[in-house]
């Protein structure tokens, strides 16, 4: 059976790799041989996909920020569609990656309507839908939508999609996470040492808009707590040089780590992070965090005119329960001063930390039971044409 999977960016590559591993596991139990071709990244290749295009670093949030990626995205999308045309798969799985995947899904519906399309981790229309046009397109070409959040399942079901709520795949991934003690031992962090994880960037634009404010905040925190040490796990190796140069510029006591993201998270007393999937990973590991996000002023202005303040929250932990579990600072609010104040409170105020951990427990209940990737894989393999 030939499956085409399409996703982009660092988080999509991770989710794609977890899904491929589960698909292969489930295929063995039913005596099925799989060939997986994909748009994705290195993690998906390691899991066994044949890559048609590497999309892990082609991604941005925002209108102005997206301009440099328009051409590379179009080229990768065109290559994928040419492959689909020449050698149609038995099944298509789309993971997040909104604009390119809407293009691919629309192509499938128009030109290869007999090939089932599954959307797994749909775009967050349920959280910030501006109009129903995009939602209707997604529902129009999707034969089965595998939802990771209860609100997402409810939203798309109400719009007419065939929806199965499988839970969030990070619930599975966190089963392999080391304990705090083990992670600290691996990284050589003494029990009494204050370790703060800094997570400034998984996209290029974030080096420009987020790294300076996060590092400025870190600089002041270091002045207040001289024994603090910062840990920066790389999302992509290409960011190593600019991050190391910035560490020197800001005079931070910091270590850049490759390939040990989970250890850094598990060992941390606190994280100062960009908004994204990473916030859920930290929450599942019970790490208090401060979340920040900034876009260009032009993008922010356009978004406000269109969205008219309809984004309640940006970070996934807050979105899951629709309440402010973690402090998040967006746009003008994303200042070093705000980060420092929130960070120091989470580090030094035991009751504030305790409340965060209680809220994390509530959030955890909305993410489903362990076995998410296998449930998703079973639902996907049930869609194979000769199984209908």
The string of pLDDT tens digits covering residues 264-298 is 999 999 999 998 889 999 999 999 999 998 776 66
Look up residue 335 and give its two tokens.
């200042």
Q: How far apart are CA 236 and CA 213, in angstroms?
A: 20
In order of 15, 72, 150, 222, 250, the CA distances from 79 in angstroms are 22, 11, 34, 48, 43
- Rounded to the nearest 10°, the torsion over CA 76, 77, 78, 79 is 50
SS3 for the chain, per residue? CEEEEECCHHHHHHHHHHHHHHHHHHHHHCCCCCEEEEEECHHHHHHCCEEEEECCCCCCCCHHHHHHHHHHHHHHHHHHHHHHHHCCCCEEEEECCHHHHHHHHHHHHHHCCCCCEEEECCCCHHHHCCCHHHHHHHHHHCCEEEECCHHHHHHHHHCCCCEEECCCCHHHHHHHCCCHHHHHHHHCCCCCCCEEEEECCCCHHHHHHCHHHHHHHHHHHHHHCCCCEEEEECCCHHHHHHHHHHHHHHCCCEEEECCCHHHHHHHCCEEEEECCHHHHHHHHCCCCEEEEECCCHHHHHHHHHHHCCCCCCCCHHHHHHCCCCCCEEEHHHCCHHHHHHHHHHHHHCHHHHHHHHHHHHHHHHCCCCCCHHHHHHHHHHCCCHHHC
Question: What confidence tens digit (pLDDT) does each residue in 136-174 have?
Answer: 999 999 999 999 998 899 999 999 999 999 999 999 989
**Per-chain mean pLDDT for the chain:** 89
| pLDDT: which is higher, 66 or 277 | 277
Question: Is 143 within 8 Å of 118 (Cβ atoms)?
Answer: yes
Q: Left (φ > 0), alpha (ψ -120 to 50) or beta: where does 188 sit?
A: left
Mean predicted confidence (pLDDT) in 16-44: 96
Rg of the Cα atoms in the chain: 21
Cβ within 8 Å of residue 88, ≥6 positions away? 112, 115
Residue 336 has pLDDT above 70, yes or no: yes
In order of 18, 45, 338, 353, the CA distances from 42 in angstroms are 12, 5, 36, 36
- Rounded to the nearest 10°, the torsion over CA 293, 364, 96, 21 is 130
Mean predicted confidence (pLDDT) in 238-265: 94
Mean predicted confidence (pLDDT) in 210-218: 94
Mean predicted confidence (pLDDT) in 180-192: 95
Question: Is 55 within 8 Å of 69 (Cβ atoms)?
Answer: no
pLDDT at position 311 is: 65
188 phi, psi to nearest 5 deg: 75, 35
With cut-offs at 50, 70 and 90, classify the pLDDT of residue 387. low
Sheet holding 328-330, edge to edge: 254-257, 229-233, 195-199, 270-274, 289-293, 328-330
Give the global pTM. Answer: 0.85
Residue 239 has pLDDT above 90, yes or no: no
pLDDT at position 1 is: 94
- Rounded to the nearest 10°, the torsion over CA 121, 209, 311, 169 is 20
pLDDT at position 388 is: 45
| pLDDT: which is higher, 205 or 146 | 146
Residue 57 has pLDDT above 80, yes or no: no
Look up residue 367 and give its two tokens.
């993410």
């Amino acid at each position: 059976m030939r499956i085409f999977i399409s996703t982009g960016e660092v988080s999509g590559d991770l989710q794609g790799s977890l899904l491929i591993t589960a698909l292969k596991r489930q295929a063995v139990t039913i005596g099925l041989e799989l060939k997986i071709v994909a748009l994705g990244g290195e993690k998906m290749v390691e899991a066994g996909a044949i890559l048609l295009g590497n999309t892990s670093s082609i991604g941005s949030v925002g209108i102005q920020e997206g301009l440099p990626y328009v051409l590379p995205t179009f080229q990768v999308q065109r290559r994928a569609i040419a492959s689909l045309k020449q050698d149609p798969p038995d099944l298509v799985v789309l993971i997040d990656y909104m604009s390119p995947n809407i293009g691919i899904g629309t192509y499938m519906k128009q030109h290869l309507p007999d090939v089932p399309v599954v959307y797994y981790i749909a775009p967050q229309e349920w959280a910030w839908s501006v109009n129903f046009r995009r939602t209707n397109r997604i529902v129009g070409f999707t034969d089965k939508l595998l939802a990771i959040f209860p609100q997402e399942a409810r939203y798309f079901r109400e719009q007419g999609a065939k929806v199965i709520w499988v839970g969030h795949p990070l619930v599975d991934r966190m089963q392999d996470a080391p304990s705090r003690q083990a992670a600290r031992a691996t990284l050589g962090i003494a029990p009494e040492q204050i370790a703060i994880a800094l997570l400034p960037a998984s996209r290029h634009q974030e080096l420009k808009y987020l790294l300076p404010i996060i590092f400025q905040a870190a600089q002041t925190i270091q002045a207040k707590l001289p024994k603090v040490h910062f840990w920066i796990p790389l999302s992509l190796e290409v960011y190593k040089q600019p991050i190391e140069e910035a560490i020197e510029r800001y005079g931070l006591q910091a270590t850049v780590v490759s390939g040990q993201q989970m250890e850094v998270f598990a060992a941390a007393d606190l994280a100062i992070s960009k908004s994204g999937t990473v916030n859920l990973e930290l929450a599942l590991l019970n790490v208090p965090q401060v979340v920040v996000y900034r876009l260009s002023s032009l993008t922010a202005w356009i978004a406000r005119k269109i969205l008219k303040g309809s984004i309640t929250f940006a970070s996934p932990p807050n979105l899951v329960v629709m309440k402010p579990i973690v402090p998040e600072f967006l746009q003008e609010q994303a200042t070093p001063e705000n980060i420092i104040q929130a960070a120091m409170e989470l580090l030094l105020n035991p009751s504030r930390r305790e409340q965060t951990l209680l809220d994390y427990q509530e959030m955890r209940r909305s993410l489903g039971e362990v076995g998410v990737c296998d449930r998703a894989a079973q639902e996907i393999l049930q869609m194979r044409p000769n199984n209908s």
